[in-house]
Amino acid sequence: MASWTTADIPDQTGRTVVVTGANSGIGLEAARALVAAGAHVVLACRDPGKGEAAALAISGAGSTEVRELDLADLSSVGRFAAGLDRRVDVLVNNAGLMAVPEQRTADGFEMQIGTNFLGHFALTGLLLPRITDRVVTLSSLMHRIGRIDLDDLTWQRRRYQRWLAYGQSKLADLMFAYELQHRFVAAGSLLRSTAAHPGYAATNLQTRTGTVQDRFMAAANRVVAQDAAGGALPTLYAATVPDLPGGTYVGPGGPGETRGAPVPVGSSRASHDRAVQRALWEQAEALTGVSIAVPRRP
């Protein structure tokens, strides 16, 4: 469906969707469209005040609730999962940071791998017993510059390079999505794992590098980028198309996958390395203390 839009989202009445980072950008636009289609959307936000402001800006046939979630703090991830006492049809692992100055999470991880990947890995594992349909994990075109360094995943010894750290985190997200689907298939589970990327969408991600690059990217946002609503379409496609196979990666169908209607797209050869997928999963379990048990089909 090359012309797929929010008008093609099936009725979401009675479904619950958790969207991380839902107070701005792509997460906000995805939440807005899902509520319009009838879903109950849990806005999982680091700043509950911003989450409440976002909820007030969303209206539709569905409903919202705001819950605090700081993906850079595994204790916060644990509290969020423990406090969410309802079935979850879809988990959208959306929140993320891009090319930020070197920082550490509450647990000592490099901030981008800790937030973009490890926090979402732990969240998925803790919520999986309540998920009934699928997990959608956000990657990026920049996964193609990523390299998984299993000897120093959290940048303890390497000289920090913000863009390579971002690329590694987004490659890790995509490899996690693929490995999760492999494990669903092996267990005979009816659950699905899909992934998406927004292309080049104008969001506040491009204003947080803390360098002169912010000004250049802000200018590019005005001239080149699609808006956040357009960037949210691949997420919405990956989260709602009923017959979408697990393991599908969705992105814009326009030139260079930077903009356009959502379609299934390919990914780098590195993203399909099964040995690295498994090793990354095992390291994520060790770092987060969360072992993901994929339920077998009864």
Instruction: Give the active site residues.
Output: 166
Q: Which amino acid is at 176?
A: F
Two tokens, residue 74: 């595994």
Long-range CB contacts (within 8 A, 24+) of 212-219: 213/99
Q: How many CA atoms lie within 13 A of 197 on its CB side?
A: 26
What length does the chain have? 298
41: three-class secondary structure by DSSP: strand
Residues 115/20, Cβ–Cβ less than 8 Å: no
Two tokens, residue 40: 């109950």
Residues 264/250, Cβ–Cβ less than 8 Å: yes
- How far apart CA 81 and CA 63 sit, in angstroms, is 20
Residues whose CB is less than 8 angstroms from the CB of residue 107 and which lie 6 or more positions away in sequence, other chains included: 73, 74, 114, 287
- How far apart CA 21 and CA 117 sit, in angstroms, is 13
Angle at 259 between CA 253 and CA 262, to 5 degrees: 40
In which element (H, E) is residue 39 found? none
Per-residue DSSP letter, 143: G
